[in-house]
């Protein structure tokens, strides 16, 4: 599998800027993807925000396996995270109150409570800002790194939110986390091979949520049958190719002669996966190795 490289220059600059922004803020709101809470964290945050309270939000909780999300919340080291849907106003309405609790010395005339929102690209920062304000003040998109510049928004007379650019970190040795990030849509497609990531993801779903895969694509044969004749060795791409071919055949992703177009099949699978059309899927569970499959 090709190595995934996902630390472009503008994110390196953003990482430096975040250190300055944290020093000027009262509360840090950390957004992590509920489908991959460990891989989507910035491990540098603990180092940069040692003197500031941190409120963790599990975003995209409507896309994640609810049982796994609950397990993550119970196992979380630190203040209990909130599992939210960034686009639902009722869901995010409790955030300002929690921030005021974490910084009781701020707020009121001349004591504006400054909140810094941090997280990886495409995790929901801009959607959160727009939902809290009730208007479109931050650009939202389905591609990583839509937010290019930091922006400050006044949420109340004594509360302001600072929306930082998305930050990834130079942990290129953690290819397990990189694959999960790529599968979730947090990494731009120019940083990885589509078939490699889709092949990893379809094997993961087949192993962890086989019924969801079979139901979504109405496969000609069961996942168990495909597994019985293919090698579980991740270095052997046979299983991934057969699963993608099974998806491609059912979706009409065919070339002349009836051969499956693997690029189209991979794209179809990843789009359905990221939109939770296959089902609510979590890519990692508490206690698993960070560099695991």
Evaluate whether residue 170 is within a structural domain.
Answer: no
Q: Do residues 27 and 124 share a domain?
A: yes
Pairing of the two strands 151-156 and 54-59: unpaired
- Taking the C-alpha atoms of residue 31 and residue 186, their distance in angstroms, rounded to an integer, is 13
From residue 38, alpha-carbon distances to 58, 181, 182, 233, 251 in Å are 11, 10, 14, 25, 33
In this structure, the dihedral spanned by the alpha carbons of residues 263, 266, 268 and 274, taken in order and rounded to 10 degrees, is -140
Q: Whole domain around residue 265: which residue ranges?
A: 193-274
- Taking the C-alpha atoms of residue 274 and residue 122, their distance in angstroms, rounded to an integer, is 12
CATH of the domain at 89: 3.40.50.300
Evaluate whether residue 181 is within a structural domain.
Answer: no
Report the predicted TM-score, pTM, of the whole model to 2 decimal places: 0.84
Most confident of 84-93, 184-193, 234-243: 234-243
Q: Do residues 257 and 113 share a domain?
A: no
**What pLDDT score was predicted for residue 9?**
57
* pLDDT digit string, tens, across residues 246-285: 999 999 999 988 899 999 999 999 999 999 999 999 999 9
Q: How confident is the model at residue 45 (pLDDT cuts 50, 70, 90)?
A: confident
**Tokens for 227?**
């597994």
Q: Do residues 157 and 33 share a domain?
A: yes
Say what percent of the chain tops pLDDT 90. 46
Would you say residue 152 has pLDDT above 90? no
Place of tokens 């400050």: 152
From residue 3, alpha-carbon distances to 97, 106, 285 in Å are 43, 46, 23
């Amino acid at each position: 599998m090709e190595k995934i490289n996902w630390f472009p220059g503008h994110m390196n600059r953003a990482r430096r800027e975040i250190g300055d922004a944290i020093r000027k803020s009262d509360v840090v709101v950390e957004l992590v993807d509920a489908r991959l809470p460990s891989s989507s964290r910035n491990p540098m945050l603990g180092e940069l925000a040692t003197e500031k309270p941190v409120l963790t939000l599990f975003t995209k909780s409507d896309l994640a396996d609810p049982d796994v999300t609950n397990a993550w919340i119970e196992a979380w080291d630190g203040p209990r995270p909130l599992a939210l849907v960034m686009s639902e106003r009722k869901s995010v309405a409790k955030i300002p109150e929690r921030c005021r609790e974490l910084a009781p010395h701020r707020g009121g005339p001349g004591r504006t409570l400054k909140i810094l929102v941090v997280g990886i690209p495409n995790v929901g920062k801009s959607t959160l800002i727009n939902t809290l304000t009730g208007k479109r003040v931050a650009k939202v998109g389905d591609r990583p790194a839509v937010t290019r510049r930091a922006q400050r928004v006044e949420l109340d007379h004594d509360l302001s939110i600072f929306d930082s650019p998305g930050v990834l970190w130079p942990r290129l040795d953690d290819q397990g986390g990189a694959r999960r990030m790529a599968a979730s849509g947090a990494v731009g497609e120019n940083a990885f091979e589509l078939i490699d990531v889709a092949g990893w993801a379809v094997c993961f779903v087949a192993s962890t949520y086989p019924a969801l895969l079979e139901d979504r694509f109405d496969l000609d044969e069961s996942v168990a049958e495909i597994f019985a004749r293919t090698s579980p060795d991740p270095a052997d791409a046979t299983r991934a190719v057969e699963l993608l071919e099974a998806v491609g055949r059912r979706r009409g992703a065919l070339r002349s002669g009836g051969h499956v177009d693997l690029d189209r099949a991979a794209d179809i699978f990843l789009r359905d996966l990221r939109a939770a059309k296959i089902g609510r899927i979590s890519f990692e569970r508490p206690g698993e190795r960070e560099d695991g499959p």
